[in-house]
Each structure stands twice: as C-alpha cells, then as structure tokens.
Chains A and B, each alone.
Chain A
Amino acid sequence: MKFGGLIFANLLRKKIRLLLTIGSFAVALFLFAFLGVVRDAFNRGADVAGADRLVTINRTSIINPIPLSYRDQILRIPGVKYITHNNWFGGVYKDEKNFFPQFVIDSDNQRQVFPEFSIPDDQWNKFLKDREGAIVGARTMERFHWNIGDRIPIKTTLYGGGSWEFNIDGVYHGKRAQDDETQFWFQWDYFEERIPERLKGLIGWYVLRVNNPDESPRIAKAIDEKFANSPYETKTETESAFAAGWVKQFGNIRFLIVTIGSVVFFTLLLVTGNTMAISVRERTGELAVLKAIGFSDWSVLFFVLGESLVIALVGGLLGLILAIVAIPVLANALNGMLPNLILSPALLAFGLFSALLVGIVSGILPGVGAMRMRVVNALRRV
C-alpha cells in the first residue's frame, strides 16, 4: 500500500482532532455494545425457550395461582409428555438489593422439563432427600460466595412472610451460554407445609413438555378449554410467546434501545461528517496540487474515504474492546438485576459494520466534494 503513508500522514495532521474523533467512535461503539447486550438479555427468553415447552398460567395474570389438582388432568391430554409446577417465592438474601429469583419446584419432574440445566446426580439425590434442600444456579453461588453445604436464610414478604432457611445441596449449570444461572430452587413439600392454610394446594404456573411441538397449538387449546368456566381459568402458550409477553411488562424496551442506539449513531455520523468536512476543506489546496501532479479524482476520493474508514475502524475496535472488557464488570456491578449480559460475536460484528458504514457515509460527502473540485479554482484560492 504505497498510498498508506499519505493517508497516515494526513490522519496525524491534527492529533487532538484525531483522538477526539476516534474517541467518539469508541464511546458510541461501547454504548452500542452495551445497549445491544441489554436488549439481547431481555429478548433472550425467546432463545432460551424450549420449542416443545408450554406454559400454563392463571388467565387473569401470572400472579394469580392455579390449583395443583389441574396437574393430573393436564397430564391426561394426549401429547403431553412431562409437567412440572413452580411458585414464585419473591425472597431476598439479607437485604433488598440482594434480589434473585427463587422458585418452588416439583422436584420429581423439574429436570425432565428443563433438561438444559445440569446437576451432578449425587447432588440431586441429596436434594431429593433433604426437605429443606436447595439447588442454586452457579452465578448466584458465585455472587454471594456460597458453598455447597451452607445454610442460607431467605426473607420473603409473601406466604406469611418471615425468614426461611435452606441447605444448599447442589449447584446447577446451564448447558448453553444464554441459560439463566441465577435461579434458586427448593422443594414443594417444604413450601406447602409452611404456607398459610388458604394458600395450600395452589401453584404459580405449570410448565409442560409435549411430544411434538407442531401439536402445541392444539394442546394449549385443549388445556384452556378444559378449565374454561371454572373459578381458575387458564391461559396456555408456548414458552417463547410467554417470554415475549414477560418482556412487554417492562415497556417497549426494544423500541427504547433501538431508538437510543440510532440516535447515538446518527450523532456520531454528524460529528464525524463535520470533522471530515473541515479536514478536507482546510486542505483543498493540497488536494488540488495532488490532482495537478496527476492523481485522479477517484484517488482523491479514496484518500478521504481511507482516512474516515481508518478512524472508524480504530475507534470502533477500541469501543468494542472496551465493551468486551467492561461489560462483564458492569454486569457484576448490576448485581444480577439483569439476566446474563452476553456480548455475542454477531453483535460485535454488527457494531463494527455499523461503525465502518458511518465511516464511509461521513467521508463520502467531503470526498465527493474533493473529487469534483476543480484544480484551477482551488489553486487560485491558495
């Protein structure tokens, strides 16, 4: 690249300006990556969802319970393979800020319905025999520095309130990066024994696996029809539909993030475009001399685009490297308030692509101007 030297020398012409422009790319790309992982985290429900899983909740809302007695009736519907039931416990460890999700589980069926979570068999067997036992996700274990064998108090304001104590019998890991490793599971029997009489026999929701995902609509319909006109009507949908509905509760996060992201890139475009325009304008004479010497109009365009692309590439890479380093730290600082923040290669690639696109677009106007500029006119102004 014999023209590299020329592009490089021009870039270093105004070092502060170069740093500031690269800096704006870096900041924008970092922000982009951060917004991207947050968006992915909220959308992950759909990725995590098993294609063959259905969720049955109370038709009124997920916080209204449904009877445990529905379990056997649902299981009798053809096509249903496994069913498990969960309750939301809503507790905290010591302090409000130590929030993480705890679920009451049906330990006989949980593992069949959620095969993506793996637990060593000895730990699971110990848990089955321990009334006050708990299985905890690896991330939550790490977050509170818990160890297997620890006895942990969890405070709740639901179910009569108070502090409940559990023995950590095992740790589960997700088989895929996107699997949620923050949950805390404990036994239905222990739960039902301690809750007020009026709440006994009521579960939060059912999760079931079907033999054939193609039959999901029929099965969902069959379940909901079976309990129509009962005091506890149900709503059954695929797990991914359920997850999407769950995300909607937080408002239109996707729209918000896409909007902020677009504004960031648009601002970046204006900033870089302006910088490139100034940078080209202040050396119109030099570009005219290059043309007089015999450099073609296209090569002048190429020099300008080359500069803006190098800025975009360096700034973009810096921002993404910053993101790779900082996002895990930020995720920890957020104390697991958000699900796993995963910086996917696709997101990184899209970020870099967008940065380069901004680089090209911001260089194209001044570049075409320089291309069209007439040597004689430019030289008269020198």
Chain B
Amino acid sequence: MVKVDAAGESSLINVRDLDKTYRRGEEEIDVLQGLNLDVRQGEFVAFMGPSGSGKTTLLNLLGGLDVPTRGSITVSGDEITHMSAGKLTEWRARHVGFIFQTYNLIPVLNAFQNVELPLLLTKLSKAERRDHVEAALSVVGLADRMKHFPRQLSGGQEQRVAIARAIVADPTFLLCDEPTGDLDRKRADEIMTLMEELVAKYHKTILMVTHDPLVAARAHTILHLDKGVLVEARQASQDTLAGGVA
C-alpha cells in the first residue's frame, strides 16, 4: 500500500517535499507544496481533487515532462529531478507510458503504427516490433483492428489503442490523466477492467487522475490532492461513492 509521508525503501516511486509554483506575471501560484508520495511496484493509485488542484501538474512532474520548483522525485533509484532535458527524454521513453483523456493518437497512422511509435526509439528489429505491437493490441482486445485508423475506431477503441501504445515498450509505470473522461459509463468500465487486468495479470504500476468516483474505486488507493499535498482518502471516496449511487 501507499505510505504517504513515509520513507519507503521498497518503493518504486519516491516523491519528497515537492513544490511547484507557477508564475503568471507578478502573481505566483503555489500548486504543490511539500508533497510526499511513495508508490510500490504493482500499485494502482488514483488521484482525485477539484479542478485546478494540481493533479495534471503532479502527473507531468512524475512523468518527467516538467520540473518541480523544489523537492525530488526518484524512480527505481534514479532521481529524475536533476536530469538534463535530453536525459529526461530518454528516461521517459524507457520508463513511462502516457495515457491521455483525449487519446492523442496520431490520426494519419493506423492502430498498428500508433502502437509501434515507442518501439521506433528502441533497437528492436522490424519483426520484433511487429511481435510486440501484436501482443500489446491483443492485450487490449484489438488484434483485429490493426489496420484501422483512429477515425475508424470508437472512443473506447481509440483509448484501448492508446493503452496498447503506452504498454508496448513495457514501461516502469503508466500515467493516466482522466483516461475515461471522454467515455460513457460502459466504455469507462471496460477501460477500467482492462487497467485492473494490467495490474493484476501483468503487474503494471498505474498512477491515474480521475474525477469519477466509480473509476477511482477500481484503484487500490485513492489519494486526494488538497492544498498542495496528498491525503489518503479511501474511506472518504467510498462514502462519496455510496452517496453518489444512492
């Protein structure tokens, strides 16, 4: 389980005293203030919180897309907060799989080619790449849609392709920013079932942002982002969930 504010030696991801301050002209916005987080290999964590609370900001920092104002992020022993931009890019390619709310597939590439993209950065041969792509598309249940372009797929299918793209290079962890935000209940449930399977069957580590309590409930842990820090909120979310359903 996640040990917030604890030095987790066995943790995969350690976040310590993380600050992120945006500057908009004269004004300074302190989004994250001394945030701590530990995530173990194989955990499935959901982040919740009101709009503007800094969830996307946190994911961007964890994914090495942005740098914190203060504090450190360590992933399997590598401190990413001090890496150069070039190193960080290489690190992302090896360790992070991104899943976005709007899928963000490349419209001019078909499902196969979209999933293949991260593999183009590896030394794999063409045949090896094909094997990996086919395996990833099988995991998400779209082995028969390889030649389809994004516009020929439903939203749920597009998100599955995006998930295949995120897992194809076998990253250390997945970062999902509202992965079901654009989907209806049924498709959202299907995507969450797939995510659970990735964790249970393939031992993936997933960090996910969501506004949807039902979606969050599928995670092992729900953390609330509140005034720049994370608060464990498993119980709270179940209350919300019960209240929401009633």
Task: Spell out A's residues near B (CB within 8 Å).
Answer: 2-3, 5-6, 9-10, 12-13, 285-286, 289-297, 375-376, 379-380, 382
Contact of B117 among A13, A293, A379 (CB under 8 A): A293
Of all A-B residue pairs in the complex, the 10 with the closest CB atoms, nearest first, are A294-B93, A9-B108, A289-B104, A294-B92, A376-B66, A375-B65, A13-B108, A376-B60, A292-B98, A376-B65
A11 to B: closest C-beta gap in Å: 9
Asked if B106 is at the interface (CB within 8 A of a chain A CB), the reply is yes
- Give 19 A-B pairs besides A3-B120, A296-B89 with Cβ atoms closer than 8 angstroms: A9-B108, A286-B104, A286-B107, A289-B104, A290-B106, A292-B63, A293-B92, A293-B98, A293-B165, A294-B92, A294-B94, A294-B118, A294-B121, A295-B121, A297-B86, A297-B89, A379-B100, A382-B100, A382-B104
List the A residue with the shortest CB-CB distance to B61: A376
> How many angstroms between the C-alpha atoms of A293 and B93 in the bound complex?
6
Are B86 and A296 in touch, CB under 8 angstroms? yes
Are A290 and B117 in touch, CB under 8 angstroms? yes
A-B contact pairs, 6 of them (CB 8 A): A3-B120, A6-B113, A293-B98, A294-B93, A294-B121, A296-B89
- Taking CB atoms, residues of chain B closer than 8 Å to A13 are 107-108
Contact of A289 among B63, B66, B94, B106 (CB under 8 A): B106
List the B residue with the shortest CB-CB distance to A299: B121
Interface residues of B in 190-232 (CB under 8 A from A): none
Asked if B109 is at the interface (CB within 8 A of a chain A CB), the reply is yes
> How many angstroms between the C-alpha atoms of A292 and B85 in the bound complex?
12
List the A residue with the shortest CB-CB distance to B98: A292
Interface residues of B in 39-72 (CB under 8 A from A): 56, 60, 63, 65-66
- Taking CB atoms, residues of chain B closer than 8 Å to A382 are 100, 102, 104
Contact of B120 among A2, A9, A12, A285 (CB under 8 A): A2
- Taking CB atoms, residues of chain B closer than 8 Å to A3 are 120
Are B89 and A285 in touch, CB under 8 angstroms? no
- Taking CB atoms, residues of chain A closer than 8 Å to B96 are 294
> How many angstroms between the C-alpha atoms of A379 and B96 in the bound complex?
16
List the B residue with the shortest CB-CB distance to A375: B65
Are B65 and A292 in touch, CB under 8 angstroms? yes
List the B residue with the shortest CB-CB distance to A296: B89
Asked if B90 is at the interface (CB within 8 A of a chain A CB), the reply is yes
Are A293 and B118 in touch, CB under 8 angstroms? yes
- Taking CB atoms, residues of chain A closer than 8 Å to B86 are 296-297
Asked if B126 is at the interface (CB within 8 A of a chain A CB), the reply is yes
Contact of B89 among A10, A289, A294, A379 (CB under 8 A): A294
- Taking CB atoms, residues of chain A closer than 8 Å to B117 are 6, 290, 293
- Taking CB atoms, residues of chain A closer than 8 Å to B92 are 292-294
- Taking CB atoms, residues of chain A closer than 8 Å to B121 are 293-295
> How many angstroms between the C-alpha atoms of A279 and B165 in the bound complex?
24
> How many angstroms between the C-alpha atoms of A294 and B86 in the bound complex?
10
A292 to B: closest C-beta gap in Å: 5
> How many angstroms between the C-alpha atoms of A12 and B110 in the bound complex?
13
Interface residues of B in 70-127 (CB under 8 A from A): 85-86, 89-90, 92-94, 96, 98, 100, 102, 104, 106-109, 113, 117-118, 120-121, 126
Considering residues B89, B93, B121, which has the most beta carbons from chain A within 10 angstroms of its beta carbon? B89
- Taking CB atoms, residues of chain A closer than 8 Å to B90 are 294, 296
- Taking CB atoms, residues of chain B closer than 8 Å to A295 are 89, 93, 121
- Taking CB atoms, residues of chain B closer than 8 Å to A2 are 120, 126
> How many angstroms between the C-alpha atoms of A90 and B98 in the bound complex?
81
Are B113 and A9 in touch, CB under 8 angstroms? yes
Are B100 and A12 in touch, CB under 8 angstroms? no
List the B residue with the shortest CB-CB distance to A285: B104
A303 to B: closest C-beta gap in Å: 11
Considering residues B106, B107, B109, B165, which has the most beta carbons from chain A within 10 angstroms of its beta carbon? B106
List the B residue with the shortest CB-CB distance to A288: B104
> How many angstroms between the C-alpha atoms of A380 and B109 in the bound complex?
22
List the A residue with the shortest CB-CB distance to B113: A5
> How many angstroms between the C-alpha atoms of A231 and B63 in the bound complex?
95
> How many angstroms between the C-alpha atoms of A2 and B125 in the bound complex?
10
> How many angstroms between the C-alpha atoms of A375 and B59 in the bound complex?
13
- Taking CB atoms, residues of chain A closer than 8 Å to B85 are 297
Contact of A10 among B65, B108, B120 (CB under 8 A): B108
List the B residue with the shortest CB-CB distance to A294: B93
- Taking CB atoms, residues of chain A closer than 8 Å to B107 are 13, 286
B172 to A: closest C-beta gap in Å: 13
> How many angstroms between the C-alpha atoms of A49 and B60 in the bound complex?
72
B122 to A: closest C-beta gap in Å: 10
Considering residues A10, A292, A382, which has the most beta carbons from chain B within 10 angstroms of its beta carbon? A292
List the B residue with the shortest CB-CB distance to A11: B108
> How many angstroms between the C-alpha atoms of A305 and B102 in the bound complex?
28
> How many angstroms between the C-alpha atoms of A189 and B120 in the bound complex?
82
- Taking CB atoms, residues of chain B closer than 8 Å to A286 are 104, 106-107
> How many angstroms between the C-alpha atoms of A5 and B116 in the bound complex?
11
List the A residue with the shortest CB-CB distance to B109: A9
Known contacts A292-B98, A294-B94; is A12 also within 8 Å of B104 by CB? no
A207 to B: closest C-beta gap in Å: 66
